[in-house]
Amino acid sequence: TQLLEQSPQFLSIQEGENLTVYCNSSSVFSSLQWYRQEPGEGPVLLVTVVTGGEVKKLKRLTFQFGDARKDSSLHITAAQPGDTGLYLCAGAIRSGTSYGKLTFGQGTILTVHP
């Protein structure tokens, strides 16, 4: 069974601070995705990384896929209250009928105070 562990589970910071969220596993993933979920809504895809060592940037968000494709990180620079939400990593292993099936981490609840 794939297991994705996210840390920290909770993060409460002040506006303007930087933060990093981690997603780790003992499994090698074909791809890894990050989602953001707001209260009362479903998760929304932020980014997909597929190549070991890959780095993607989305405005103030930087995503990195580990060289061995077992881990990933999400770094937010100068956090804003609008960044508040639940951040989820999700990984997929391409293997027979498992193609297209994502396993989600438990999530990191981020609160950014004005």
Chain residues in the site for other proteins (CB under 8 A): 30-31, 33, 35, 40-45, 48, 50, 88, 92, 94, 97-107
Our CA angle for 72, 8, 37, nearest 5°, is 75
Q: Which residues lie closer than 8 Å to 38 by C-beta, 6 or more apart?
A: 44, 85, 86
- Give whichever of 16 and 52 is closer to other proteins, judged by the CB atom: 52
Nearer to other proteins, 50 or 68 (CB): 50
Tokens of 51: 């190549």
CA atoms within 13 A on the CB side of 1: 4
CB of 114 to other proteins, least distance (A): 26
| 100 token code pair | 């297209």
Q: What is the DSSP letter of 27?
A: S
Q: How far is the CB of 2 from other proteins (least distance, A)?
A: 11
Indicate the residue among 73 and 104 with the shorter CB distance to other proteins: 104
Q: Closest CB to other proteins among 94 and 113? A: 94
Instruction: Tell me how far, at minimum, the Cβ of 5 lies from other proteins, in Å.
Output: 11
